[in-house]
Amino acid sequence: MELKFIDLFAGIGGFHLALKSIGNKCVFTSEIDEFARKTYKANFNDKYLDNPNLFAGDIWKVDFKRIPNFDILCAGFPCQPFSQAGYKRGFKDNNNGNLFFSISEILEVKKPRAFILENVRHLEKHDEGKTFKTIYKTLKKIGYTFDYKIIKASDFNLPQHRPRIYMVGFLKEKINSMFHELPFNFPKPKILKKSMSDIMGGFVSKNLNSKEERVIGFTLRVGGGKSAITDRRNWDGYIVNNKIVRINPRQGLEMMGFPKSFNMPVSDNQAMKQLGNSVAVNVVKEVSKSVVKHLKYYSK
């Protein structure tokens, strides 16, 4: 069954790609960064992207009532305020932290059947758990169930740990009353078959002159811009066949689960920044499959 979804804080379209690949249709996108918008549009030929009301920039400038009806809200909302590597200001960050409330307002106005949210693992513990409790209570008050799980990209055949918290909820009034309290089942991890040696096209070792393989790579992180993050490992690269090799956007795309055909019409600096901000496509795809299955069996 084809479900309609919206893609908020969309980045380069990891959610879009994942949900579209399992037969669903995106009807609205919001992304404020001009370079990410360029990459997004270069990869999706949906006609709605030509409509500025449907391919929006600043989410706070959108009339939520005019968003087309949809079934699933998807959002990898800005994580820097909650990240251990960021400023850790949470909801006090007026530029990013409060963007969660645009999500809750859209849910309240549009009442979709479900949501899928993604953020950094540290969100669960931020401000002694107060931030996460606010998110939980806000979504429950609107009328949604709430389940969450920390999932690594390496759980779904991508050779980087990249632990992220996934939050899933269903509108109770649209769920068969018999199953109100039925827990959502997150997908079970799969065996990691792909290694960094596969990604880099040569034997990746942990150190120079070492025969010990680095199977799982460094987590791709935000790079450049005004980010407070100074970790440069996603630029400085890997030891491949005993030579230091700098990772490139093509390899970064593969680490994130994007297809080889994915177009990055921006500089390498921007491309790596966009990948550091993106979601792991394999994980989103599997979580989305579970959400669709849950809706199929337990919704009215």
Q: Which residues are catalytic?
A: 79
Structure tokens, 43: 């990869």
What type of residue is 57? G
Structure tokens, 84: 């251990």
Q: Which parts of the chain fold into alpha helices (H)?
A: 14-21, 34-43, 100-110, 130-142, 196-200, 233-236, 249-256, 268-277, 281-298
DSSP category for residue 58: S
Kindly report the number of other CB atoms within 10 A of residue 130's CB atom.
12
Structure tokens, 127: 């401000």
Residue tagged 């959002």 (tokens)? 75
230: burial class by Cβ within 10 Å (0-12, 13-18, 19+)? exposed
